[in-house]
Amino acid sequence: MISIYTWLQHRLEEEYDPVRMLKQSDRGSVQLIRHKASGQRFILRQFTGNPEVYYKLLDYTCPNLPTVFEVASLGSENLVVEEFIAGDTLGFLLEGGLFSPEETKKVVIQVCHALWVLHSIGAVHRDVKPENIILRGDQAVLIDFDAARLHKPENEMDTQILGTTGFAAPEQYGLSQSDIRTDIYSLGVLINVMLTGEHPSKKLAGGKMGRIVDRCTHVNPQHRYKNVLRLMEAL
């Protein structure tokens, strides 16, 4: 009997044309593909790892998250077909200049909406950073759930260290298990980078935004905002 993974592989080869490779690493690749009949573009992710969050997202839609259409796994190998988000990454836009406090608030609140969905299904993104946020017009979309995990209360620490240096919370380095406050930490770094271009340890944003960043990035997760709703209220 043919596996769902092999079936999806064959269907992708027959019904879609590759457009271009967007990202490739030891863990996998991200490719832009086009449906031959409709011309519609999609993202094809092929990666080695844990696909549990992608499977959960099949049942959810949110304007600040890409829609996940199909997921198939064979052992540790995974295929994901998701919505193509046309726009520029926040990382690219930051190369052209910093954001105002109002612009920063607007983007971060929309990222909080995306994280609220993830957190409500028990998932932690674990890699919130400018390169994983696409601005589609004035809409911020959080992408890339390859490092995301479902929180498992019985575990004392993460089974695999994943995340981006500078944006990753201290607990992601094996001190304890990641939870929703891990993403709060990354949001604090994100706010600071958007306002100052620097990590808060090097240059902290001024005024109220600086106080918000300071609380988000506290080493002890218990001293951070309890959830993204509290952070949104503060913003």
Q: Are strands 149-150 and 41-48 parallel, antiparallel or unpaired?
A: unpaired
127 classed as catalytic: yes
Q: Which of 26, 127, 138, 158 is catalytic?
A: 127
Q: What does the DSSP assignment read for 157-205?
A: S-SS--S-TTTS-GGGGTTS---HHHHHHHHHHHHHHHHHSS-TTT-PP
CA distances (Å), 25 to each of 5, 10, 21, 31, 47, in order? 21, 23, 11, 12, 9
Please tell me the distance from the alpha carbon of residue 33 to that of residue 192, in angstroms, as a whole number. Answer: 35
What amino acid occupies position 3? S
Q: Which residues are catalytic?
A: 127
